Amino acid sequence: MLLLLAFLIGVIAGLRAMMAPAVVAWAVTLQNWNLGESWLSFMGHVYTPWIFTALALAELVTDQLPSTPSRKVPPQFIARILTGGLCGGTIAATAGMMWPGLALGALGAVAGTYGGAWARGRLAAAFGRDRPAALIEDAIAILGAIAIVSLL
C-alpha cells in the first residue's frame, strides 16, 4: 500500500510539480514522520513546508499564464520527475523503503505529466478554453495530495 501511495504522489507531482512536496512536507512536519538521519530529513525542517507552499502557490498562478511552457519540455519534465521521486521516497522512507518509493514516485511523475497533459487537453477542448481545465487539474492535484498523505 505504501509503495502505491508513493507512485500516486508522483502522479500528483506530474500534475503540479510543487504541490506534492508542499503537502508531503506539511505531513512530515505535522504528523512527525520518522525519517531518521536520511538525506530526506530536511522535509521535516520547520521552514520546508512554507518554502514548498510558496512555490506551489506561485505554480498555481503561473500555470494560468499563456506564456507558461508545456510541462513536457525538459526543465518542467525533469522538475516533476525530481519532485515525484523526492515525495515518493519520503513517503516510503517511513517504512525503510526509500529507494523503491523514490523510483515509483519518479515513475508516477512521468505518468502524471503525460496523463495530466492529455486529460487537460481533452477538458480544454470540451470547454472550448483552457482555464476551466486548469482549475479542475489544480483541484485534483490539491485534493489528491491531501487524500494521499491522509492515508498514512
The answer to whether position 18 is within a domain reads yes
The answer to whether position 50 is within a domain reads yes
Q: How far apart are the first and last CA of the chain?
A: 10
pLDDT at position 66 is 82
pLDDT tens track for 60-81? 999 888 888 889 999 999 999 9
Which residues of the chain carry a pLDDT beneath 70?
none
The answer to whether 33 touches 94, Cβ cutoff 8 Å, is yes
Look up the domain containing 126 and give its range.
2-60+74-150
pLDDT at position 17 is 97
Tally of domains within the chain = 1
The answer to whether position 69 is within a domain reads no
The answer to whether position 66 is within a domain reads no
pLDDT at position 63 is 87
The answer to whether position 121 is within a domain reads yes
pLDDT at position 77 is 97
Residue from 103, 109, 101 nearest 71 by CA: 109
Alpha-carbon distances of 73 from 29, 30, 53, 114, 122, rounded to whole Å: 32, 34, 23, 11, 19
The answer to whether position 125 is within a domain reads yes
In whole angstroms, give the CA distance from residue 145 to residue 100: 19
The answer to whether position 15 is within a domain reads yes
pLDDT at position 38 is 87
Give the whole-number percent of the chain exceeding pLDDT 70. Answer: 100
The answer to whether 23 touches 60, Cβ cutoff 8 Å, is no
The answer to whether 50 touches 88, Cβ cutoff 8 Å, is no
Written as nine digits, the cell of 51 is 518554502
The answer to whether position 65 is within a domain reads no
In whole angstroms, give the CA distance from residue 99 to residue 122: 34
Helices 131-150 + 19-31 axis angle, to 10:
30
